[in-house]
Structure 1
Amino acid sequence: MKSEKLKVKSNPINERSVQYALAIIRLYQELSKKTILAQILGKQLLRSGTSIGANVHEAQGAQSKADFISKISIAHKEALETAYWLRLIEETKIVHSDETKYLKDENHQLVRILSSILITSKESIKVKLKNKLNEA
């Protein structure tokens, strides 16, 4: 019996969220070698930063449009939380701002993309509902 690979729909947000998670993991590995404070902040960053992609990928298997919106909404909230932890890590000077620049910039882009997906998805539900009401 051949093993089947899990097929996740290929799109830019899927790949970007994976690459972002990998960059978060690399920073976490660096932070885990530093002070207790760096380790604690690093763990928080690791949880929220990798959760973005997990929820984006989970949204691909959503059972409904509402489920999809819920998963993307969680990814969006995790991205906002990640921005918070990055700010604390930078402002406490645990790492130099050059080391967080890519993560902050990419996080900003992910927040914008996820916001756009949410707006579009919610709008499509409204249009479908309006069409159903007009048909009745």
Structure 2
Amino acid sequence: MAAEMALRREAFLAHVQERGEYGTTEEAERAARVVLALLGAHLIGEVRAQLAARLPEGFALILLAPLRSAEPLPPERFVRATAAWIEGATEQTATWDVSAVLSTVADTAGDDLLGQILLQLPVGYDLLFGRPQPT
């Protein structure tokens, strides 16, 4: 079971690393930690629990951390918050980080759960997840 968890973790990070074109797994992991912590602060209830259940354990714990957002950040502010948390990041690199992580999360979640996640977030997150929704 532990080996399967580790494999899931490696596979998750490999996707993030590939999508973010990071030179190292450490860079991919740093982006994943920050973006999942911020995402977790925006999600509540069953949706948050279901997403956590589909993530590798270490990342599930980050998503479930008791960080709460006073109000859901619009997508642009989510990106800015990500930039603020990652040393040396700019809004451009943070947009890249967010997309790399959230598109991997979208694949992990599947369409039904992603639809429920998007209902909890302000308009525009569909683009951050790489899943533009018809308007």
- Could you tell me the TM-score, scaled by structure 1's length? 0.33
Q: Which has the higher helix share?
A: 1
Higher Cα Rg, which structure:
1
Q: What TM-score do you get using the length of structure 2 for normalisation?
A: 0.33
